[in-house]
Amino acid sequence: MTRVLLTGFEPFDGESANPSWQAVRAAAAEPPAGVEFFAAELPCVYGAARVALRDAIEEVRPEIVVCVGQAGGRPDITVERLAVNVDDARIPDVSGAQPVDEVIVPGGPAAYFSTLPIKACVAAVRAAGLPASVSNTAGTFVCNHVFYALAHLIATELPGIRGGFVHVPYAPEQVLHRAQPSLPVASVAQALREIAVTAATVRTDIRVAEGATH
């Protein structure tokens, strides 16, 4: 059994729910064969989210970590390629903090690549009949903050773990009064199962074009 830690976030920016945590809970309730799921909810707070992530990793001792966050406005499941070493908040986090142009890890590299087979994960989600793509930016809000913190832990202290970040669209109930794309939480949970199984079974990523022109 491969031990997989899934993390999602608490609601932020005035929302009453966060589909990342809803989907993580749903996925963990019905793990696929061969995978043991553990779920942790992270605060949408700079700094505190890093601490909560590390605590969860120390408690679970996973082989794979998949952090998940909401990306309102995106139409599909996006598997992130890069985490960058900067916090630059367009909106405040839940605590009211709004860092601008601050490094996450002083002296750390400018960026880290995901250690998940990102293109194989995207292919698996599509094969399950769900929309997915590779993303080359996780933004500069708390999602990227957590992604970079995870990647730095893997690079410096926990080389036996593989991990990365997945962004998910709004849930349908969040877009009743605004014209934004959405996906049902159950569909997102299924995508997370596909990603976890792929991460557990694929060591060398597939070589297909999933880049972007801008």
Q: Is 59 a catalytic residue?
A: no
Please state at what angle helix 185-201 crosses helix 19-29, rounded to 10 degrees. Answer: 60
Give CA angle at 108 (46, 162), nearest 5°. 80
Task: Give per-10-residue mean pLDDT for the chain (214 aa).
Answer: 97 96 98 96 98 98 98 98 98 98 98 98 98 98 98 97 98 94 98 98 97 91
Dihedrals φ, ψ of 64, to 5°? -135, 140
Determine the Cα–Cα distance for residues 32 and 149; give it in Å rounded to an integer: 27
**Catalytic residue (one of 44, 63, 80, 121):** 80
Question: Could you confirm whether 15 is annotated as catalytic?
Answer: no
Residue 205 tokens read as 């990523």
Instruction: Say what the pLDDT of residue 154 is.
Output: 98
CB under 8 Å to 177, separation ≥6 — which residues?
none
pLDDT at residue 127 in the model: 98
Q: Distance between CA 120 and CA 126 in Å, rounded? A: 10
For residue 145, indicate whether it is catalytic: no
- Of 44, 143, 145, 152, the catalytic one is 143
Residue 69 tokens read as 């966050």
Q: Are 66 and 163 in contact (CB under 8 A)?
A: yes
d(CA 167, CA 5): 16
Dihedral of CA 76/132/81/25: which sign?
positive
pLDDT score for 172: 97
**Catalytic site residue from 67, 121, 167, 194:** 167
pLDDT computed for residue 207 by the predictor: 97
pTM attached to this predicted model: 0.97
- Provide the CA 66 distance to its chain's centre, in angstroms: 6
